[in-house]
Structure 1
Amino acid sequence: MIDRPAVVRPPAAANGSPPTASRPEPTVLPAFPWPPPRYSAFALLERAWLAPQEPATLGRAAQHLEDAFDLAGYVERSYYRVPGGFALASRAEKIHPDASPFAPPARWSADSAGAGRSFLERITALFNAPPGRYRVIVFVVTDQDFAATPQPPSEAVAREWVGGGGLRLPPSIAAQAYSAEHYASALIYEFARRDEREAGQVRAPSDVPGRVHLEKGGLWQALAQ
């Protein structure tokens, strides 16, 4: 008689059925630099804009921000993870000294092939852009207090950032409550290039307040709807 190897069966679950295979861990959303690098200007957003009804969640807040970006013509953005929430970064745009954007296609001349590119790549593109002023807007939703680092982002720092922001907010973050401790702010990064041989430098502070940046870009009005 041939000895057959014993069949090893997985232990039954508590309800008598075989255990299901464990699901793989979800992809981790890339982290935005924390605390954020020094910015040119900022503005706090009204809670009612992002949490107009209960139950308020980070996912609903993110959807309101996406809708505002769409209404204002910012059709590309990237999600990043921050402590207690998320960051949503815009595509780099060329602006006038009063913070109003150039009309397309000049508005996006810093990144004419921006679709699918990461926040790192978009910031780095500023250092190869024609002379002028450029702006990146980063919405930060968090329940953590923060103060910007003393130094603004430079080309060297930007190249060290982990590229590849998420196209959407992961369900694990979207399902979290937008609690009473959560708040939203817009961080404005304004860069200036004086000539094609000079790296772009952040203007800190900007000549224009953060709210005006949002108004000129159409975002303040879109959020307030």
Structure 2
Amino acid sequence: MGRDCKVTLLDFPHLRIILSIVFISLLSSILLAQPSKNDTVGTNQNVALLIANENYKRGLDVPGAIDNVRILKDSLVKVGLNVTMLINASQKEILNAIDQFNINSAAVSYSLFYYEGHTATINNTTYLLPIETKGKSEKQLIASGIALESIFQKEEGNTPRIIIINGCFRSNFKYLKELSKETKCYGFPNNFSGYNHLAFITPTVNTIVSEKVKSSGFAPLLSTTISKNRYIKKSLHYTSTWLPYVKNSNEDIISSNAMNTYMTWGGIKDDVDFLPSFLEAFPWPPPKASERTVINRDIFKGCQNFKDVDDILYKVLNTNGYDGKGYYLIMPEADKVQGFAIATRIEQINTDGTPKESPDRWRTSWRENSFSPFQYLKSIFLPEKGYFRVIVFVITDLSVKTTNSSPSRDTSLAWVAEGGSVLPAVIGAYDFTEDFNVTALIYEYEVPENNESAILVAPSSITGKTHLLKANLWTIQQLTKD
């Protein structure tokens, strides 16, 4: 649990990095900076500009800023970004880089700017403070600082830009020390537009950052949270849920403008238009079911992506005779994948939920294929009902709420035939985050005596969990949370 994690406020710079990121950028060329302080990786790729001002001297250091930005750089490079990193940058270097950033931002899909170091807010204007800043007076801070507004100047077109500011650290700048604790950490730029996405990470003025951040346990968390097909919105949500559980945390995040839900760390999915050609979309919300149950997530412990989840389900289904399966996408909105579904082949079951013995189990009619005189007399004097079952496994980060419309047996019978035979690799690469659950929807049908028409049984006489147990998919211990 989050409260048991040995994490302190000192570890937060890594968490701030994940919390603050709202979008990823594409830049067309390498940003300008002096070679001794500039680390650029790759060419002709999605691009980000990262600035780490750590060594201000005179007791003004921001320990961990360089390490944090390097971790962020490594994570972004892994998902295909061309990253330029400025370390301990002067006013001139930052201004040159921002000028190039503005030029490149106008020519690409979207761009990312990240700054970690001291900031100052004077008259509701936020200033990034270069490494040579002298802060004895308001005038000195304004003269040496870089107004946040400068990042939003020279805007052309409607290219989104993501600006992330990690500052407001406690400092010994004389003027800042004289400010009240109630002084705002940041001020929103006057020329802020709808095409910009601004995130502030706001520790309290009294926050003290120490060297412990350099061995922070959040570095692996950051690395695993960033992946090519992961929605950035999910990274933000995942990280923000940690915020209340971090010991002595007074930190906050302020962000502006809604996030683009189609945006992943690798950019807007270039395969989005082709997703329907891989798989059909399962009806959403799903049609009314006999029962539903959320499967214990411990069964999927260690799963990193959809393929890992599919491997577990595929194996357990095949082991228990469910050879035929139909794969579908969960797409409540056009071109927006939010999971996948697996429908099992329709099977005949007993009243307790156990499958019929083969070959009766897989017959789509409850009657015997060979209808002998004995079977005819039996059906007259000893009439019996028939029961059928389809299980649909839904893997999604959405709440699974079914409609009031019952699917016919023929509809559920077709789910396998009309679904894909396997999970495509492009879908399997999607991240299986803690936001996702695996829900089993049970569709049970009853065929009345001497009748071939089927009626959905809702609710079933047994629970959804019992259906999974009787199907021999998992044990009661596996399906029960600790």
TM-score where L is the length of structure 1: 0.73
Over 3 Å counting, the alpha-carbon distance change for 1:75 and 1:156 in structure 2 is closer
- 8 Å CA contact 2:326, 2:342 repeated in 1: yes
Of 92, 113, 118, the match for 2:346: 92
Kindly provide the CA deviation profile for residues 66-106 of structure 1, in whole angstroms up to 9, marking residues without a partner as x.
01101222111110111310010101110111111111101
Aligned counterpart in structure 2 of residue 201 of structure 1, from 451, 455, 466: 455
Distance change (3 Å), C-alpha of 1:140 and 1:40 = same
Aligned to 1:47: 297
CA contact (8 A) 2:343 2:415 kept: no
Higher percent of residues as helix: 2
> Structure 1 residues 155 and 185, CA, compared in 2 at 3 Å: closer, same or farther?
closer
CA offset digits 1:38-91 (Å, max 9, x no partner): 1001121122212x226x101110110001101222111110111310010101
Alignment partners' CA distance in 1, 2:361 and 2:420: 23
**Amino acid in the other structure paired with 2:463:** P
Q: How many residues align?
A: 187
Give the counterpart letter for 2:339 in structure 1.
G
In the TM superposition, 1:210-225 aligns within 5 A as 210-221=464-475, 224=478
| Distance across 2 between alignment mates of 1:157 and 1:44 | 23
Rate the CA distance shift 1:53–1:171 in 2: closer, same or farther, 3 A: same
* 1:147 partnered with 2:397: no
Match of 2:419 among 124, 146, 165: 165
1:67 equivalent in structure 2: 315
Q: 2:417, 2:437 → 1: CA distance?
A: 25
Distance (whole Å) between structure 2 residues aligned to residue 223 and residue 169 of structure 1? 28
* Contact residue 348 and residue 364 of structure 2 kept, 8 A: yes
Task: Give the counterpart letter for 1:29 in structure 2.
Answer: L
1:220 alignment partner, SS class: coil
The aligned counterpart of 1:17 is none
2:334 equivalent to 1:80: no
CA distance in 1, matches of 2:307, 2:414: 28
Change (3 A) 1:65 1:157: closer
- Residues 1:196 and 1:87: Cα distance change in structure 2 (over 3 Å): farther
Paired position in structure 2 for 1:8: none
Q: How does 1:104-119 map to 2 (within 5 A)?
A: 104-110=358-364
Question: RMSD of the alignment, in Å?
Answer: 3.2
Per-residue CA distance 1:152-177 (angstroms, 9 max, x = gap): 11268669989621111111210000
Q: Which runs of 5+ in 1 are unaligned?
A: 1-13, 15-22, 113-129
Q: Point out the more displaced range, 34-43 or 155-164.
A: 155-164
Match of 1:11 in 2: none
Structure 2 length-normalised TM: 0.35
